[in-house]
Structure 1
Amino acid sequence: MACRVVVVDDSGFFRRRIAEILNADVGIEVVGMAADGKEAIKCVKELKPDVVTMDIEMPVMDGITAVRHIMAEAPCPVLMFSTLTTDGAQATLDALDAGAMDFLPKRFSEMAGDEESAKALLRRRVRTLARSRVRAATSGAAAAPRSLLGAATARTQGPSVTPVSASGARAAEHLSRAADINPALLKSARAVLIGTSTGGPVALQEVLKHLPKTFPLPILLIQHMPASFTPAFAERLNKLCQIEVREAATGDMLKPGLALLAPGGMQMLLEGGSVARIKITDSEPGTIYKPSVDISFQSAVGALRGQVLAVVLTGMGADGREGARALKGLGARVWAQDAASSVVYGMPAAVVEAGLADDILTLTEVGPALVKGFC
């Protein structure tokens, strides 16, 4: 059965263009269109789509306000179209805060290297969001907390959701709890590394809000996100959390109670020495994720000799699996988010499927488990 989509934009040309692209996929059907937020709410209530694509700036009612109403009255996954500017970043973060699940650049040239790749990306994102709704409904999983952001992914390319085998699904049923965490197994850790993608902004806030100002380890955050978005995202996290959160820069030292967010469009590396430091670099040609969880995790192999706790949260694809494998080879502990609380069970599924996860936790258990393990 095709996933049903409502397209919302004040530009008739853009609505028709998006509808044409989506309808070219036999697995997608555009069942309605709206020119403003007020029309969108009515459309969603009447048509009950699987996914809504939403513009931000519209007359009568803007997209952010419309998302709030939709989430309150007829919840369904919303994909925002955003401009990759500083102002666009703030507006998109506000839309995600209102409950939107994901976003893509409105300009196709910013989505991917060519138009056909951009079209394929849009279709893939819509199908992924539709599947996430089906999985949540069929599993009976409660929706993830949305107190800061919905799901934002940053990279405009990447693989689809990692399938979960029967053995992986069975493994994911055996969840750890914060009370089960043995601090003795974490005593050698010198840092916490957290990697995530789709669904990551809300997941990171849910985790970090539990940490006291006196949290004894440094934290590195790798979230797939555009360069124009990470400064605003770091600022929001810093205002909402007890620990300090800021965008990482070359030369930053790892300090207890400091969370450093990898800059969008770049790679965040750890360099060793008596005190580990951050190095921000450009990506090698052909690198899919900017920043990449694998690249940051693998840099910790040399810099910290695996003395880390690596945490892989919700996200599309498998970024983080090979980095977790390298770290685990040197004795690092690896945690993965469970399927039910993940917006997209791709990245953590890849870790679980590879047999790398020491503990599988629900999203709301990760923060308390960090506190129990280190405080």
Structure 2
Amino acid sequence: MKTVKVLLVDDSPVQLALLRSWIEQDPAMKVVGVAASGLEAVQLTAELKPDVIALDLFMPEMDGFKVTERIMQEHPTPILLLTVSEQHATLSKDAHHSGAITVMLKPTPDDAQNIQKFRETLKVVAKIKMVRRHTVKPIAPQSKVSFPYQAVLIAASTGGPPILQTILSQLPEHFPLPVVIVQHIAQGFEMSLINWLQTSCLLPIHLAREGMELKKGVYLAPSGTHLELLHKHGKVVLHLSHHAPVRGHRPSANMLFDSATRLLGGNLIAIQLTGMGEDGASGLKAIRDAGGFTIAQDEKSSTVFGMPQAAIKLGAAQHVLSPEEIPRKLKEILGLQP
């Protein structure tokens, strides 16, 4: 039986490594190349002539639909689009418009059933005969990918402030979502942190107060108090509570993440930054399971890799990124100009 030659395309080295390992567990398939950008994918398709391409939907410079259109014009090859969000896994109409066969959710390391489904889908897609598209109609405006996210949540501890500065300083003044932060910090130092962050951030930064309506801007949890999201009179508001510390933490990132998931489901972007311990890891996993978009800081840039590592081990992080890559990814998935 002929071995199925697979080209993998994803801007995340972690995702590429996972996808490769799952594919190479099947002797009927072989990864013949990997690409980290759309342009590289087009070039490798011409050089390697794979039988099938597994392509990330969210790519820098060219998203998965644009890459697919380009490949179908130049080197027609069966393409399976992959996404990390259930809200985008239903975009088969857009996939067919661009020339891809279908869209499916990326498996998670702890989901053997979907890993097997991924392998079987690749083999089925590889058998489909493709034809060159000399002209490709643009995707109609109503088919454009929508991003229904309603908030960005960030957890940080040891080494967090400079990383927060790196991220917040790169967000534009018109950034559309509120950013809610749990940073483990000694009581009484919150305003000093806010004032320091504000010197390089275009968004207004607030110390969270009870009943404050969640609007565009940045909100920092007060030390010694849990911060949660609640619905009140048809609005999303901040709620401060003095419940017991969770595994030694008050505020607890897990408390924030869990309350937000109960309220907003998968309409969340959540980020786990440097810090000791595991605070935020299980909450990040709940957000991912609900269909949200999740990121963990990479080990190289982390002062303490405990919190990001705990999230990664749970399968909670869809992307593992450096501090400089995080704001670029946020702007990319929200359709903002670089």
Could you say which TM-score interval applies, normalised by the shorter chain?
0.5 to 0.7
What 5-or-longer segments of structure 2 have no aligned partner?
Answer: 1-13, 19-33, 38-58, 65-86, 89-145
- SS at 2:171's partner residue? coil
- 2:284 is the alignment partner of 1:324: yes
Measured in 2, the distance between the counterparts of 1:293 and 1:353 equals: 17
**Aligned-partner residue type, residue 181 of structure 2:** L
**1:309-336: CA deviation from partner (whole Å, max 9, x where unpaired):** 0110111111111111222222111111
Measured in 2, the distance between the counterparts of 1:176 and 1:205 equals: 27
Match of 1:157 in 2: none
- SS at 1:342's partner residue? coil
Measured in 1, the distance between the counterparts of 2:268 and 2:155 equals: 13
**Aligned-partner residue type, residue 191 of structure 1:** A
Residue 306 (structure 1) shift: 2.9
What 5-or-longer segments of structure 1 have no aligned partner?
Answer: 1-166
- 2:227 is the alignment partner of 1:268: yes
- 2:139 is the alignment partner of 1:179: no
2:155 to 189, 195, 201: 195
Distance 1:180 1:326, change over 3 A: farther
Aligned 1:182-261 pairs, distance under 5 A: 187-256=147-216, 258-261=217-220
Does the CA contact (< 8 Å) of 1:225 and 1:265 recur in 2?
A: no
2:310 to 336, 350, 354: 350
Larger Rg: 2
- SS at 1:215's partner residue? coil
- SS at 1:278's partner residue? strand
Residue 260 (structure 1) shift: 0.1
Match of 2:47 in 1: none
- 2:240 is the alignment partner of 1:359: no
Does the CA contact (< 8 Å) of 1:307 and 1:331 recur in 2?
A: yes
Measured in 1, the distance between the counterparts of 2:276 and 2:312 equals: 14
**Aligned-partner residue type, residue 60 of structure 2:** A
Bigger relative contact order (CA 8 A; separation at least 6): 1
Match of 2:299 in 1: 339
Aligned 1:161-180 pairs, distance under 5 A: 179=60
Residue 355 (structure 1) shift: 1.2
Measured in 2, the distance between the counterparts of 1:235 and 1:176 equals: 38
- SS at 1:314's partner residue? coil
- 2:329 is the alignment partner of 1:369: yes
- 2:239 is the alignment partner of 1:279: yes
Residue 227 (structure 1) shift: 1.9
Match of 1:301 in 2: 261
Does the CA contact (< 8 Å) of 2:246 and 2:252 recur in 1?
A: no
Distance 1:357 1:285, change over 3 A: closer
Distance 1:179 1:275, change over 3 A: same
Distance 1:227 1:334, change over 3 A: same
Does the CA contact (< 8 Å) of 2:288 and 2:317 recur in 1?
A: no
- TM normalised by structure 1 equals 0.51
- Identical pairs, percent: 32
Residue 283 (structure 1) shift: 2.7
Residue 176 (structure 1) shift: 8.2
Tell me the number of residue pairs that the alignment of Structure 1 and Structure 2 aligns.
208
Does the CA contact (< 8 Å) of 2:272 and 2:297 recur in 1?
A: yes
